[in-house]
A and B are shown apart, each in its own frame.
Chain A
């Protein structure tokens, strides 16, 4: 592994994001706008915002980063720049880590805004510390990045990459406990939900709102982090220097 090439990739990706003003604006404010919409929906309907809000704070950065990452890395594969980079002194893992660092930084900014507005202006009630909510949101975003990097290897076109969203992301949203508590699902679905990373991401958020001790949260975070590492390792394995 090389810090030089990892930082080179991360800086370059951030420059590209900065150059694309529209994408940057959407990355930064979209989750906050959606949280505000949710708050408004439940304005006259009791405490549901406190129950759903944290889950959505976990889900938004995950979805956004999944999409952005799978499309950008696919573009890198199809434009020939990936082939060129892999013919240079560029480690496969360095390449992926560069992306993870860059999008992790974007996710940190995105989550800081969404969490700040939700807690500060929309009155989201938390039992645990606010900073930990932001940490969870960033790890969730990096999870989206890792999964996006991985699936981009299986897509030939940007259309296919976008189709991985309903295929891989929507089932996780359905099964993560947002709609039906995970314990109340049929056993088989409960078991499936137990092996999906987003379930733990949402659990971490839920624990933050209900428990003042943070032990459970760190446990969930550790599981999500494990999925991130596995996603990056699988992603590195799918990056081939030699192609047919």
Chain B
């Protein structure tokens, strides 16, 4: 992979006095890449480092050719935090219009983002009175506003029904077809099959970095969950 969107070398992150990521190397290119691993393994921490909001203890993180968090990247990277970060006292449309102004994009982008996450019927509902899944879709819509070259999504499909999940994965692939890089974290292994590439993570280390088919084949398993367990046992 010559033109990696993300290049991480020797990344070390310490949180609350404990090392969470130790000397991590990683490359991610265009397409939809899934970051999978059990709760607490460091997925959110890694994603925070990629968007440049995580204080790091060592190593380098390069995104689209610039150090993560550079001013030049703030227009080009969309980020959805694990907990929906929207203003609960504003309506869906008001939230999106605000972030659109911050990003300097037009009102058309707001409409497209609302449609993309299937919230057109709730445009004027106050975010705090939406269901959990609806709120997280508002949060996702915010990240779609600027048509970013890199979209970093921290568990965007948690709590959503199968139909909506399928639609969102189609949306992620649509965005990737535009040439963008989409990195999606999840701890639900059955979402793995929907990714072009997979990163399996455990206790702050990357266990596998390949296509779903190759990972399954290497582990001699028929599904990613079994493959993951095989890899964990092999690493132990």
Q: Which B residues are in CB contact (< 8 Å) with A86?
A: 53
Task: Decide: B52 and A244 in contact? CB cutoff 8 A.
Answer: no
A89 within 8 A of partner (CB): yes
Task: Give the Cβ gap from A42 to chain B, nearest Cβ, in Å.
Answer: 40
Measured in the bound complex, the distance between the Cα atoms of B52 and A89 in whole Å is 13
User: Chain A interface: which size bin?
Assistant: 20 to 34
Give A216-241 interface residues, CB cut-off 8 Å to B. Answer: 241
Complex contact B86–A81 (CB within 8 A): yes
Chain A residues near B87 (CB-CB < 8 A): 12, 16, 79, 81
Interface string of B34-58 (1 = CB under 8 A from A): 0000000000000000011111100
Contact of A244 among B55, B99, B102 (CB under 8 A): B55
Shortest C-beta distance, B100 to chain A (Å), equals 9
Contact of A4 among B77, B79, B85, B104 (CB under 8 A): B104
Q: Which residue from A5, A79, A243 sits with its C-beta under 8 Å from B53?
A: A243
Q: Say yes or no: A81-B85 contact (C-beta < 8 A), given A5-B102, A8-B101, A242-B55.
A: yes
Chain A 55-90 residues near chain B, CB threshold 8 A = 79-81, 83-90
- Bound together, the chains give a CA A8 to CA B69 distance in angstroms of 22
Q: Does B51 contact A87, Cβ atoms closer than 8 Å?
A: yes
Residues A84 and B79 in contact in the complex (CB < 8 Å), given A242-B53, A242-B54: yes
Report the separation of the CA atoms of residues A167 and B90 in the bound assembly, to the nearest whole angstrom. 32
Are the C-beta atoms of A80 and B85 separated by less than 8 Å? yes
CB of A83 within 8 A of CB of B94, answer: no
Nearest B residue to A82, CB-CB: B85
Known interface pairs A12-B90, A84-B79; A242-B69 also in contact (CB < 8 Å): yes
Contact A8 B74, CB 8 Å, known A20-B89, A83-B53, A242-B55 = no
A-contacting residues, B72-121, CB 8 Å: 74-75, 77, 79, 81, 83-90, 94, 98-99, 101-104
- Inter-chain CA distance A81–B95, complex, in Å, is 11
User: Contact at A89–B75, with CB atoms within 8 Å?
Assistant: yes
Q: Which of B14-46 contact A (CB under 8 A)?
A: 14-16
Residue on A nearest B77 in the bound complex, by CB: A87
* Given A15-B90, A242-B54, residue A89 in contact with residue B104 (CB < 8 A): yes
Known: A83-B53, A242-B55. A15 touches B102 (CB 8 A): no
Question: Of A8, A19, A241, A242, which is within 8 A of B102 by CB?
Answer: A8
Which are the 10 A-B pairs with shortest beta-carbon distances? Answer: A80-B85, A8-B101, A89-B74, A12-B98, A242-B55, A244-B55, A84-B85, A81-B85, A80-B81, A87-B51
9 A-B residue pairs with CB within 8 Å: A5-B101, A5-B102, A8-B101, A15-B90, A87-B77, A88-B74, A89-B71, A89-B74, A241-B69
Q: Using CB atoms and an 8 Å cutoff, list the residues of chain A in contact with chain B.
A: 4-5, 7-9, 11-12, 15-16, 19-20, 79-81, 83-90, 241-244
